[in-house]
Structure 1
Amino acid sequence: MKKAFHTDINVSIYDGDTPREDRLWIRDNARLLITNPDMLHVSVLPCHSQFQRILSNLRYIVIDEAHSYKGVFGCHTALILRRLKRICSNIYGCHPTFTFCTATSANPREHVMELAKLDNVGLIQNDGSPCGSKYFLLWNPPLHMKKEGGSQGSSVTRRSSPIVEVSYLFSEMVQHGLRCIAFCKTRKLCELVLSYTREILEVTGKELVDSICVYRAGYIAEDRRKIEADLFEGKLCGVAATNALELGIDVGHIDATLHLGFPGSVASLWQQAGRSGRRAKQSLAIYVAFEGPLDQYFMKSPDKLFGKPIEHCQVDSHNPKVLGQHIACAAYEHPICLQYDENHFGSTLDSIVTTLKDKGFLVNNPSGPFSSTMWNYIGPEKNPSQTVSIRAIEHDKYKVIDKLNNRLLEEIEESKAFFQVYEGAIYMHQGVNYLVEEFDLSSRTAFCRKVDVKYYTKTRDYTDINVLGGDFAYLPACKTNHLKTTAQANSCKVSTKWFGFHRICKSSSKILDTVELRLPPYSYDSEAVWIRIPRSAKLAVEERKLEFRGGSHAASHTLLNILPLHMMCGASDLGTECVNPHETRGMPERILLYDKHPGGIGLATQVIADSRLFRLCE
């Protein structure tokens, strides 16, 4: 940046990876600070007096990739920006100008106005970035006949594994000298694609085996930075990546992108495909379909994909739960004044302050100049921002250690650790298999060693959804003349229990062995929405000698698969209630969906808010 602008101003990165010994120098000397909402939230705003030099002279706030601030993360970011504007104006007397850079958004002006609570925004729609022509290919894995149930079994038609198909495509790309990113929806899929691609290259291009790797969340900062640098400098030909590479990071010229399954929104698909062809050269994007109904829908009707409008970015800065968290944080940073701070936090400020007072978080300041309207933070936490997670990310993490050299391989969220690094699990890191030999719950550490095995492991588990109430979720405007059932929404407790795991052959997918597994249950609070299935429907199904519970379960998964067509969500954001043999209580006859993010992020209740889905209740 210094070279680009021919200037000697001090430009510094201030994020979670910045060494503590460098932070004091940055606060005292930096002219241009590159940071993120997380650091504003937990460091800059709570300790704003340490940043007095910067905040007193702050003239511009530039927010890149503004379209990524949506959903629950966007809600938190919007309130962090309000806190920043409040501190700047109320304490340091400055009113910085906002500049937003965005792409892949249907409503950029409205979105950023809500994001930063701005009255007006000028929109510049010139795309000056160099971009060549792009070929976009839809790739449906071929169909094969397969026998089930032995020699006397029936023949079924199945598609080839899309994971294997992507791996062959990935290997072809790097063998032809094309720099490539293979986008996968989960960390495990990234590891599998890398493993399979390396197996292919061992036969077809052995010198290229080490020219590809995985880039995803969970890796330690040092490893991530090295991968970014190697990709940018051309030392790597390609990576299998999650959406961590969808935006933001400059990885140099990319020739092709592969997309393993629909990523959850058209905006994300175009954003990923836009990583290639950024230097006025031709580029290629290949979308490889899974066998699920949503991917097959797009394969059979490409016009529905290419003609589908980009989704609107939505930010709900009035969510009372999130608003209460940030008002407590704001009061810690500087006393809340009802007279002036309503401009920042909206008309519900008074009621939320009252709620926080009743909970023992705020107290009235009787000695201030506006004694009746000034509120100080007195809550139990020394710094309330430390307890507010803005990305729905879990704080409790497990370390994965290579026993051979005591090297830290990864840090995994608690909920994922119980699925991935239990004792006896095969854990994958950069395409290499590790056997977990010890899983220490007290120290939150998994110890593993490299192994060469031809199987993978999969947990046997079940999840119970215990609904804690039942408020009607219909909107007042919903008019149905002949309701046959009810739709409801409320908080719930999600509890997962593990009772074993399978060892499964890689080549045949046959179960080789079944092992018992005892882990403590993992529980979290969330939100659920459900539709009661009327008794008349159950009787009609049973009269036809059909399986009622299996049918209702299939209907739940059908609903999960079509939701990304109507909402900005991914397949991993929502879950459904599944039949299991370990139920300990009677299960009501219902179709239930729940937020898979601890605390809930509002997606479940959005399902009922969509009028097109009300037809399920008629």
Structure 2
Amino acid sequence: MSIPSATGSPAASRGAAGAPGSPPGFDPPAALSALASGAPERLRHVHEVPARSARPEPWPTWVDPTVYAACAGSGITSLWSHQREAADHAHAGRHVVLSTGTASGKSLGYLLPVLSAVVEGATAPSGRGATALYLSPTKALAADQLARIQAWAVPGVRAATYDGDTPTEERRWIRDHAQLVLSNPDLVHHSLLPGHERWAPFLRALRYVVVDECHVYRGVFGSHLAALLRRLRRVCARYGSHPTFVLASATVRDPGLHAQRLTGLPFEEVTRDGSPREAMTFALWEPGELPDGSGRRSATSEAADLLASLVADGVQTVAFARSRAGVEALASSARRTLDDTGHVRAATGVAAYRGGYLPEERRELERSLRDGTLVGLAATNALELGVDVSGLDAVLMAGWPGTRASLWQQAGRAGRAGTRSLAVYVAADDPLDTYVVGHPDVVFGQPVEAAVLDPGNPYVLGPHLAAAAAELPLREVDLDLFGGEAVARPLLDALVARGILRRRPNGGWYWARSDRPGDHLSLRGAGEVVGIVESRTGRVLGTIDGASAHTQVHAGAVHVHQGQSYVVTELDLEGGTATVVRGDPGWSTFAQSVSAFDIVAAERSRRVGPLEVCFGSVRVHTQVTSFLRRLPSGEVLGTHPLDLPPRTLRTKAVWWTMPVSWLAAAGVAEVDIPGAAHAAEHAAIGMLPLVATSDRWDIGGVSTAEHPDTGLPTIMVYDGYPGGAGFAERAHQAVEAWLGATLETINGCGCEAGCPACVQSPKCGNGNEPLDKAGAARLLQATLAELGRFPSAEL
């Protein structure tokens, strides 16, 4: 994150020029008017986010003079109010969570107490003194923070990044000498905690643990971090340290509660932003109709045209897309448009940025964005976090990014140089996007969502208990740290029964195997990773998680990397590689799958008349069976079978059942139930992010005219992660609001038989067949009538 401060800082002195090469005095309303000049009807809503005035505070007296001198040398001579408040809490040893706007300088709120403690401890006889651990969800963010600390050149501070890219020979020096270690949760899990004896001097002196961008830790990833931080607290206590935790995020509701769930500790909240920010023009944009009238243009194509227009005018812009393929397509299309319109030189300043790239590729793109070589960048949410790319003028968002928190996080990437900024949300042909552009209050009249996580998720907590026992034998007294007797004891008993742990007669649980528990546990929930390898050169193009490999890099799939097309010749799941050859066959591929589910247990059930709405545990069985080859025109060239193993997911779901006779009375004949239920399921999945902190790609659904476990027509929406992620539970709590918005979207769509803006799904394994839009509307209307439409939760 950048660190704006009072007048006199380098960030404040840049004025309206923005990034190198951007137009002087950038005028967002004028730029938006120019974009909409050819089709004003596409500009659905414009909202002005007002400027925010500064609230400066004097420098605290407890800050070490050398730290103050280093900051003053960088132009930072006073603080914003939230920086001072958070720094005072942390210095006093109080756990604190700092949740203020993007680019509000949160870093300074924790760096002041951290660096002061480190400098004061550097005079200790050991030369080590106090230590601190900084954790970020991405390597890029940690590298960014290190560059800032090194630029300040505070005497006596030895800081270093410790991640998967750190050479082996440097790791010992870092363990033995670094006072401030910047890392990520994965390295704490795989290296620091299993090897805590080697880290003993560092852990013994650990004064602070900083968790940056804490809003990222939600769902299963958040549950993993909650268990990891409890393991870290336990190992620290073994060495006599009880560090102060400082958490930071620009976008999280109830930050104190979220921080408490992540760490198990009480927190002070700092939420009033004292930093200045110039106004932002925020537009909602709906793409126009396709020439043949078959629907709207895709958000990716529309955003590519907008990006090309802005880049041609020298406006430095980041365009966010929802998928890796979308990012590649957006960048390629923008470059092609610039070439075709005579802006050949400008086309060279457009690139793509996404996860799966090699580290050196990402670092080079970040450098080029900072120095202005890149004027346009298409990115996934890999660039959503606080990597310092100060000076951007505009942000485009192609499709709903999953949550309001992500939307504002992405929009906040512009305007970091004290200038006015432009943010444009481009609606995809999708139920939620259609709803949002017609209901601006969803964006501008609602707070960001609460971050959902479950520290007691047994699929997450069980493996962490095994890892904790391998680090230090677990004792009865440790159970309170991991959810208490009722939560932890059954999991420990199961681990003992499976031979993973051993219970000693004198008490305690011990690791009972020769391998390491970390080898079987991925914090990111991705499980196995598949490398994408070019056959001719052996070059690794990138990586993909094992579950996605089935649908995206199966044999015959077309894979795009930095605008270049490759065809997958072999997917070796056992060896973890997908082999590709370079070449564009002229078509794209789309995987098809079949799904079924078993109901394990209904944990909550609500019966209203003949309907029953349930939340509970399920098993979802999915198998990719074939793929389509499709021309850019949409024409299908053929279907090709695949021989891939089925995958079974044990997770949480919300489902509801309806009698056939009741559906018939609602106007849905028995023969029409499959299409009506399928369409209602698709639309409900598309609208779930409105009430839960999910992306539609985090969730799945299955519908059936008669399920063997219920004997009735059943519609189910489930969390796409083992053990669940809290999304389906939130849907069950807010079922009226959720299904009400779903029905409104279907009824408000002008298509006749169903389209991507209402009931078609971009990830349907059955090729969106059968779908009955009218039947879905009648089904949902009758369901809501039974439920009574009394509000159970706000949107």
One-letter code of the match for 1:219?
Y
How many Å separate the matches in 2 of 1:606 and 1:536? 29
Q: What is the match of residue 492 of structure 1? A: 619
Figure out how many residues of one structure are paired with residues of the other and give that number. Answer: 590
How does 1:162-177 map onto structure 2 within 5 Å? 162-177=299-314
Q: Among the aligned pairs, what percent are the same residue? A: 34
Cα RMSD, aligned residues only: 2.8
Q: Which segment drifts farther, 51-60 or 388-397?
A: 388-397
One-letter code of the match for 1:498?
T
2:628 to 495, 501, 511: 501
Q: What is the match of residue 462 of structure 1? A: 593
1:180 to 308, 311, 317: 317
Matched, 1:395 2:542: no
Matched, 1:189 2:320: no
**Superposed displacement of residue 486, structure 1:** 5.3
**Superposed displacement of residue 514, structure 1:** 1.1
How does 1:359-370 map onto structure 2 within 5 Å? 359-366=498-505
Matched, 1:82 2:221: no
2:658 to 533, 542, 549: 533
Alpha carbons 1:265, 1:568 under 8 Å: kept: yes
* DSSP 3-state at the match of 1:287: strand
**Superposed displacement of residue 410, structure 1:** 1.5
How many Å separate the matches in 2 of 1:108 and 1:22? 36
2:368 to 230, 245, 258: 230
Q: What is the match of residue 298 of structure 2? A: 161
How many Å separate the matches in 2 of 1:210 and 1:584? 57
Alpha carbons 1:181, 1:241 under 8 Å: kept: yes
* DSSP 3-state at the match of 2:642: coil
1:68 to 194, 213, 216: 216
| 1:309-348 CA distance string (max 9 Å, x none) | 2112233223333222222211111121213552564343
Matched, 1:201 2:338: yes
How many Å separate the matches in 2 of 1:410 and 1:326? 28
Q: Which segment drifts farther, 357-366 or 289-298?
A: 357-366
Q: What is the match of residue 446 of structure 2? A: 308
Residues 212 and 342 (structure 1 numbering): CA distance in 2 closer, same or farther, change over 3 Å? Answer: same
Alpha carbons 1:144, 1:159 under 8 Å: kept: yes
How many Å separate the matches in 2 of 1:408 and 1:157? 39
Residues 587 and 211 (structure 1 numbering): CA distance in 2 closer, same or farther, change over 3 Å? Answer: farther
Matched, 1:429 2:575: no
Q: Which segment drifts farther, 351-360 or 23-32?
A: 351-360
* DSSP 3-state at the match of 2:269: coil
**Superposed displacement of residue 45, structure 1:** 0.8
Matched, 1:56 2:204: yes
How many Å separate the matches in 1 of 2:495 and 2:575? 35
* DSSP 3-state at the match of 2:270: coil
**Superposed displacement of residue 544, structure 1:** 5.8
Alpha carbons 1:498, 1:521 under 8 Å: kept: no
Q: What is the match of residue 78 of structure 2? A: none
How does 1:113-512 map onto structure 2 within 5 Å? 113-119=260-266, 121-129=267-275, 131-143=277-289, 146=292, 156=293, 158-204=295-341, 205-339=343-477, 341-343=479-481, 345-348=483-486, 349-366=488-505, 371-372=506-507, 374-378=508-512, 380=513, 382-397=515-530, 399-440=531-572, 443-459=575-591, 461-467=592-598, 469-474=599-604, 480=607, 482-485=609-612, 487=614, 489-502=616-629, 504-506=630-632, 508-511=633-636
How many Å separate the matches in 2 of 1:573 and 1:423? 25
TM-score by length of 1: 0.88
Alpha carbons 1:473, 1:487 under 8 Å: kept: yes
Alpha carbons 1:142, 1:159 under 8 Å: kept: yes
Alpha carbons 2:328, 2:352 under 8 Å: kept: yes
Matched, 1:559 2:680: no
Q: Which segment drifts farther, 273-282 or 521-530?
A: 521-530
How many Å separate the matches in 1 of 2:251 and 2:299? 27
How many Å separate the matches in 2 of 1:434 and 1:322? 36
* DSSP 3-state at the match of 1:143: coil
Q: Which segment drifts farther, 583-592 or 293-302?
A: 583-592
* DSSP 3-state at the match of 2:268: coil
One-letter code of the match for 1:524?
T
One-letter code of the match for 2:456?
H
One-letter code of the match for 1:393?
A
**Superposed displacement of residue 66, structure 1:** 1.7
How many Å separate the matches in 2 of 1:586 and 1:213? 51
TM-score by length of 2: 0.69
Alpha carbons 1:131, 1:280 under 8 Å: kept: yes
| 1:215-261 CA distance string (max 9 Å, x none) | 11111222222222222232222221111111132233211111111
1:594 to 701, 710, 718: 718
Alpha carbons 2:556, 2:569 under 8 Å: kept: yes
Alpha carbons 2:281, 2:421 under 8 Å: kept: yes
| 1:244-303 CA distance string (max 9 Å, x none) | 111132233211111111111111100111111112111110000012221111111212
**Superposed displacement of residue 605, structure 1:** 4.2
How many Å separate the matches in 2 of 1:587 and 1:421? 37
Residues 438 and 338 (structure 1 numbering): CA distance in 2 closer, same or farther, change over 3 Å? Answer: closer
Matched, 1:608 2:732: yes
* DSSP 3-state at the match of 1:335: coil
Q: What is the match of residue 13 of structure 1? A: 161
